[in-house]
Amino acid sequence: MNIAAALRRAGRHLAGPVTTAPHGEPGRTGRPPAPASPPGLRPVRLLLTAVLIFMVLFFGPDLLDHATTEHIPYSGLLTKVEAHQVSSVAVGSSGTVTGTLTNGRHFTTQAPLWALTTGDLATHLESSEVKVSAYQQSDTLRQLVTSLLPTALFLGGFVWLGRRMQRNLGGSGGLGGLLRTKTRVTDAERPATRFADVAGYEGVKQEIREVVDYLQRPERYQRAGARGPRGVLLMGPPGTGKTLLARAVAGEAHVPFFAIEGSAFVEMFVGLGASRVRDLFTQARQAAPAIIFIDEIDAIGARRSLAGPGGHDEREQTLNQLLAEMDGFPGDTSVVVMANTNRPEALDPALMRPGRFDRQIQVPLPGLADRERILIVHAQGKHLAAGVDLSLVARATPGFSGADLANLVNEAALRAARHDRDELRPADFDAARDRLVLGQRDESNALLPAEKRAVAVHESGHALVAALSPGADRVAKVTILPTGMALGSTHQLPEDDRHLYNQDYLTGSLAVRLGGRAAELLAFGQASTGAADDLAGATRLAVRMVREYGLSPRVGPVAYPVPAARYLGAEAPDRPYAEATQRLIDHEVARLLRDAEQHAIDLLRHHRPALDALTQRLLDEETVDGQTVYDIAEQTPTAPSAITGPTPAA
């Protein structure tokens, strides 16, 4: 076997069996052609192939000789010489003895240094008449390669691994890719979102149209010597459509839309966020007129710490660069920076000054009319049954955001699909609302008969107090079916969205919240843990009535601020009032709750037959609509009830 044959065999082993593909190209046998290697791997493979060929050429002869050569010790060599079994030998200058035995086999021996200097080896060879030759042995290069090659391979692999990690961090461009901004650009011809696609929010859209006009006709503002809006900050709860409004501005103005998340500016490398800010603003200036949109700007625009350098250096450098870029806009550059946040109180004041985000637009939760418009948009393409009234659905969803309403319609459609129906019915929307507000109905939570009766009494108390209290929100439904963490629930629907709440309404709300506990006291003579959430909600409302709204005669028309919660582990802030004032507040809160509970007990005692009738109706049907509650309250006489159970002492 020669070296060329060994190389050919090694080449076949590396390349695998090669055949001809249908188009005349080499291909793998029995499997599809492998995908092309990434460009970064080709130099590595070429280097590995070159190293392999070098090793075969350099060490190949020794490996082949090693397979056919017998290694014998020096004493064994002398024994064979004396037995006349050695035909010829060659002695190297470093003591390596190679030779041929009389049977044709090759051998090698490492003679000790003393055997060469004393002539012991030469004496034995001459006495046996062995053919002897000598050669100058130089293994310096071989030793150098043998010692340095592993180190070189290790260092090469380490460098290759480092470059591979850089490419993974920065994309296909290596470390330079880390410096490029992760933006999503919408060309001027591509924006499809318009103000018509944003249901409701007419006031917000009217305020934001000035940005569209400035981007479309900036010369009109320049002639008047006016400076166009530099920054627009959209503030509001999550899910209210702030990002959709920003896209609609770009769509109406037909300008490029550069969108990036605030968190994309901050990375593990200090200074990288500032570089991305510069890159983003450079792109926007080149594409002007354009819009830069920063989603969740509080990720980089949070209030800077006064504690000096620390763990937020990268974020603060990014914020400083953002402020510098917004200050550096020339007056004739038609670039508007838009951003959104649901935490405006956390933003740095430097962002809010004129010349930066000087337009601050509130995007609140949709009102009743806006909720109906949003429902109409999301109901498009869905088959609604004849009995579906989206205005009633809008009334039943106060406090829902646009995203919540979209989820509501989708949940209703999912319920219809689970029942193998194409059309959405009112029951689908009711079930979807219950699932979003209260949680998934727990079919496995079977109550004991006594517990079921207690829940029925509790919910009947809530419903009747609400139905009998003037000005209270109308009762829509009462159920004793377990849902989420609640064993039952009473649904109230406001006639309209309220913006002001008078003292009578708030006092009535306390009585409604404590109506379940009052019914338990009236029917069983004792309360249960089922009123825990009611007590918590009523207490929070009473505290605000006393401390913030000035509705306590003894405390007076004074508003005491509520201490804001701080970070975990921080000490609670001091109260901005005396300990005696705190005791007075606690006393007034307890008085409001006691008065509300007593009012609910008196109301239910006077309408005890109605409480009994509604309780029995719930036990029979489990769910009762609001109109039935009002019918029972109006048609049932107010005579004393025959239900046994002690009456609580006043």
- H-helix or E-strand containing 361? strand 359-362
Q: Please state, in angstroms and rounded to a whole number, the distance separating the CA atoms of residues 516 and 242.
A: 40
Q: Is 131 left (phi over 0), alpha (psi -120 to 50) or beta?
A: beta
Q: What type of residue sits at position 319? A: L
Q: Residue 268: how many CA atoms within 13 Å on its side-chain side? A: 4
The span from the CA of 91 to the CA of 163, in Å, is 50
- How far is Cα 135 from Cα 56, in angstroms, rounded to an integer? 25
Q: Which of 252, 325, 459, 520 is catalytic?
A: 459
**What pLDDT is recorded for position 643?**
41
For residue 9, the model assigns a pLDDT of 42
Buried b (16+ CB within 10 A) or exposed e, 527-559: bbebbeebbeebbebbbebbbeeebbeebeeee
Beta strand spans in 182-289 (E): 184-186, 231-235, 257-261
* Secondary structure (3-state) at 230: coil
The 3-state secondary structure of 89-149, one letter per residue: EEEECCCEEEEEECCCCEEEEECCHHHHHCCHHHHHHHHCCCEEEEECCCCHHHHHHHHHH
Specify the CATH number of the domain 72-137.
3.30.720.210
Highest CATH level, class, for 184-305+313-362: alpha beta
Looking at residue 212, its amino acid is V
CA dist 76 and 44 (Å) reads 48
Point out the residues of the chain with pLDDT beneath 70.
1-48, 51, 54-68, 93-94, 113, 115-119, 135-149, 162-191, 266-273, 304-314, 328-333, 442-445, 562-575, 639-650
pLDDT value, residue 124? 73
- Looking at residue 386, its pLDDT comes to 87
- The answer to whether 484 touches 537, Cβ cutoff 8 Å, is no
Is residue 459 part of the annotated active site? The answer reads yes
Instruction: Specify whether the CB–CB gap between 314 and 273 falls below 8 A.
Output: yes
CA–CA separation, 331 and 221 (whole Å): 10
Q: What are the residue boundaries of the structural domains of the chain, listed by start?
A: 72-137, 142-179, 184-305+313-362, 368-438, 449-562+577-635
Interatomic CA distance for residues 9 and 186, integer angstroms:
56
Q: How open is the CA angle 407-410-411, to the nearest 5 degrees?
A: 85
Q: Tell me, what's the pLDDT at 454?
A: 93
Distance in angstroms (rounded) separating the CA atoms of residues 620 and 614: 10
Burial of 464 (0-12, 13-18, 19+ CB in 10 A): buried
* Alpha carbon distance 551, 15 (integer Å): 88
Are 92 and 49 in contact by the 8 Å Cβ rule? The answer is no
Report whether 86 contacts 132 (CB < 8 A): no
Length of the chain: 650
What dotted CATH number matches 368-438? 1.10.8.60
Give the pLDDT of residue 63.
Answer: 54
The backbone region for 448, taken as left when phi is positive above 0, alpha when psi lies in -120 to 50, beta otherwise, is beta
CA distance linking residue 479 with residue 425, whole number of Å: 19
Q: Is the peptide bond before 289 cis (omega within 30 degrees of 0)?
A: yes
In Å, how far are 230, 246, 257, 346, 426 from 323, measured between CA atoms?
Answer: 12, 20, 20, 16, 52
The arrangement of secondary structure in 449-562+577-635, i.e. its CATH architecture, is: Up-down Bundle (1.20)
As a 3-state breakdown, the chain gives helix, strand, coil percent values, each rounded to 5, of: 55, 15, 35
Beta strands in 192-272 (DSSP E): 231-235, 257-261
Whether the full predicted model's pTM is greater than 0.85, yes or no, is: no
CB atoms within 10 A of CB 345: 9
Q: Are 613 and 607 in contact (CB under 8 A)?
A: no
* Contact in structure between 352 and 360 (CB atoms under 8 Å): yes
